[in-house]
Amino acid sequence: MRITQQHEDTSAEPPRRSRAGREATRAAILAAARQAWTEHGFDEVGLREIASRAGVTAALVNRYFGTKEALFREAIGTEDPSPAGLADIDPGQFGRVLAAVTLSGEHHATVQARTEHDAHLMLLRSAPSPAAQPVLRDYVENTVMPPLAHYFGGDDQARKRAAAVLALSLGASILGHILRTEPLAQAESEAAGSEADPDLVTVFAAMLQSAADTPLGESR
Amino acid sequence: MRITQQHEDTSAEPPRRSRAGREATRAAILAAARQAWTEHGFDEVGLREIASRAGVTAALVNRYFGTKEALFREAIGTEDPSPAGLADIDPGQFGRVLAAVTLSGEHHATVQARTEHDAHLMLLRSAPSPAAQPVLRDYVENTVMPPLAHYFGGDDQARKRAAAVLALSLGASILGHILRTEPLAQAESEAAGSEADPDLVTVFAAMLQSAADTPLGESR
DNA sequence: GAACCGTGTATACAGGTGTTTACTTACCTC
DNA sequence: GAGGTAAGTAAACACCTGTATACACGGTTC
């Protein structure tokens, strides 16, 4: 982290700085893109904004990534190589654990956490853009669904449970973080570090547990 | 319905047609806007596109509505004056009924149905746009939440249940209709008129019923 | 028949978009 | 120190956006 340098950084370390070096600026651009697109979505923030955040020119962004869409693909595809970690959750506690994570948006040691949460916002804010859509579909199908589906057993029924869980999580993010609609708009409570509303956690926990436990019929 | 007339309509009825008249063209523009924004979102479709669909010039759109944002406000605010109708649902069947509606996107006699479904798509596709956001927040808080909260009893706990139900519904729409992610991408099955996957209906029904039935603590 | 008003159009404006080209500048190596 | 090479920039491209202004047409009413 901490790569979001401003364009004037000629202070610390060896003299090789105003030319930051290939990998460093590439990473800076990528980080700036992720941050900007998490806050505002694919259509809303242009290359000049991202470049400016990275302390760079728009032309350079395209020299490194070729295209706005390609930059987006890299920005969302690299969020977390191995997002697992939910394998440890006690099946009986699945609902409460995921409800807490979903509603607080806070870092939770047991599960994907912060990075994942940001990725969800980036996804939701960029979902309407035609250029971003195929990228996001790939991301959902190849990166976020598989671990969830694996947790539920890996078969077709598991994928349905996973889709339902993900749907609730995404919907909550839309209402709470994007539209900032009550009673889900807990953005400030997140900043204040307080816990989420207990009743909300109870409802969400019950729903998520249902998704995990409800018996299903035909296997194919 | 059936207002989406093309720009050449000089055929039926009295000679007063090429000048369609104030209310008629206003309605045509509104209908075109709703249709276009349901398909593609606020940022994606411009005034010229909407005007063209209504058989009209972009300037005229602004003459009638003043501003793109104002047009959007009218387009989403007028979806259905009294969207109730879910008061009749047997509390024990709430989950299954709403699951069927949510997953099929089809017209269901008992509940808001098609129009509501379109409004959800319009909402989700336009949610990232800063201009549309306050409009959408108002729409959710004043139009879609109240009937649901009322169904659950109208108190604070009811609003939490309603928010959870709405979150699941919106999340399912995102995965199924916007990102077209399996196993929720049932857009084609909707066109074919077939029923939704029974397992999916079962999972969603269980989750929705949990949202309705789970006992909650403290009343304030 | 002529003036008039409302409905609709054509055109231009100012600004922003992603992308490309040609150029400068700093570093590294001989 | 000179030359080469890679990092970075400036400027321009063609296009599209929402909005405002000035103009033309059609119908109605004196």
Q: Which residues in chain B are contacts of A214 at CB distance < 8 A? A: 202-203, 206
Residue in A125, A133, A198 nearest the CB of B128:
A125
Q: Which CATH number fits domain B22-77: 1.10.10.60, 3.40.1350.10, 3.30.70.580, 2.60.40.1930?
A: 1.10.10.60
Closest residue on chain A to B95 (Cα): A207
Distance between CA A104 and CA A108 in Å, rounded? 9
B166 contacts A160? CB cut-off 8 A: no
Mean pLDDT over all residues of chain A?
81
CA atoms within 13 A on the CB side of A134: 3
Domain boundaries of chain A, sorted by first residue: 22-77, 86-213
* Of B123 and B79, more confident: B123
Nearest Cα of chain B lies from the Cα of A206 at a distance, in angstroms, of 6
List pLDDT tens digits, range B12-69: 333 333 556 778 889 899 999 999 999 999 999 999 999 999 999 999 999 999 999 9
CA atoms within 13 A on the CB side of B138: 11
Ramachandran category for residue B2: left, alpha or beta (phi over 0 → left; psi -120 to 50 → alpha): left
**Residue of A179, A197, A216 to mutate, testing the B interface (most B Cβ within 10 Å of its Cβ):** A179
Is residue B4 over pLDDT 80?
Answer: no
List pLDDT tens digits, range A25-45: 898 999 999 999 999 999 999
Give the long-range contacts of residues B50-53, CB within 8 A, separation 24 or more.
B53/B4
Least confident of A82-86, B150-154, B181-185, B200-204: A82-86
Average pLDDT over residues B114-136: 86
Q: How far is the CA of B7 from the C1' of C4 (A)?
A: 27
Distance between CA A192 and CA A111 in Å, rounded? 21
In which residue ranges of chain A is pLDDT below 50?
1-17, 81-82, 107-109, 187, 219-220
Q: How far is the CA of A218 from the C1' of C21 (A)?
A: 61
Q: What is the pLDDT of residue B29?
A: 93
B40 contacts A200? CB cut-off 8 A: no
Average pLDDT over residues B183-197: 67
Residues above pLDDT 70, as percent of chain A: 76
CA atoms within 13 A on the CB side of B148: 25
pLDDT band of B219, cuts 50, 70, 90: very low
Is residue B10 over pLDDT 50?
Answer: no
Closest residue on chain A to B180 (Cα): A137
A130 contacts B128? CB cut-off 8 A: no
Nearest Cα of chain B lies from the Cα of A178 at a distance, in angstroms, of 7
CB of B16 within 7 Å of some strand D atom: yes
